[in-house]
Amino acid sequence: MVMISNESPIDLLSEDVLHLARELIGYELHTFIHGRHCSGIISETEAYAGVHDRASHAWGGRRTERTKVMYKKGGIAYVYFTYGMHYLFNIVTGPEEVPHAILIRAIWPQIGLEIMQQRRKNKPFQLLANGPAKLCQAMGIDLQQNGVEIGSSIIWLGRKHVIEPANIIAGPRVGVDYAGEDALLPYRFVWVNPSL
DNA sequence: TATAAGATTTACT
DNA sequence: GTAAATCTTATAT
């Protein structure tokens, strides 16, 4: 019943969070939460480069109850609550004590469309998971998944879909104007689907 | 202790 | 285009 794929060749312990953020585009993201299996292809990511990145929650080495999970070894989930109502899902990367994380900003739903639609108040397909908080709502992700291993029976990566490198564009991150010059860094990666 | 703003989304004017 | 939803963290009294 529960399918597990631990064959992902991606190295989440790498310190090159920028490379990983680009590499994650095209991977299937699966969840098995509340008895429901959902998946989608990752189509948008943002890299947050630890203590040297003003836009990161771990900037300057900040370590709080919320951010402590980022300091663990790469390959786990960092889920946090924001704006008083939304959950955002990140994948922690890098070795222990290096608080890198990659925000998953959008996926293309594949498995469990009906479930996602229910969780998303019957929104149309295109609006199911095209934003970081929408994706969490559709997949059923909340604080219970914080710190969960990527590759467990709860959250795992599936196979990687082949995407033309030319269809992945980099640009500045969203909603980080407070980060000064770091807000301009091209740490955001978007898969532009030419068939749209 | 109080206030402000946030890695956002939605509904309404 | 603007506002409201209202939890966590940081900064200022």
pLDDT tens string A134-181: 999 999 999 999 999 999 999 999 999 999 999 999 999 999 999 999
- How many percent of chain A have pLDDT more than 90? 93
- pTM exceeds 0.85: yes
Residues of chain A (47-106) having a beta carbon less than 7 angstroms from strand B = 48, 55-58, 78, 82-86, 88, 90, 101, 103
Is the Cβ atom of A84 within 7 Å of strand C at any atom? yes
Task: Give the span between the Cα atoms of A134 and A81, in whole angstroms.
Answer: 13
Nucleotides of C under 7 A from a protein CB: 5-10
Tokens standing for residue A13: 């312990």
User: Among A23, A188, A196, which residue's Cα sits nearest to residue A108?
Assistant: A196
Q: Would you say the C-beta of A170 is within 7 Å of strand B?
A: no
Locate A91 and state its tokens: 């994948």
A114 CB and strand C closer than 7 A: no
Closest CA to A103 of A62, A128, A63, A136: A136
**For A86-139, what is each residue's pLDDT tens digit?**
999 999 999 999 999 999 999 999 999 999 999 999 999 999 999 999 999 999
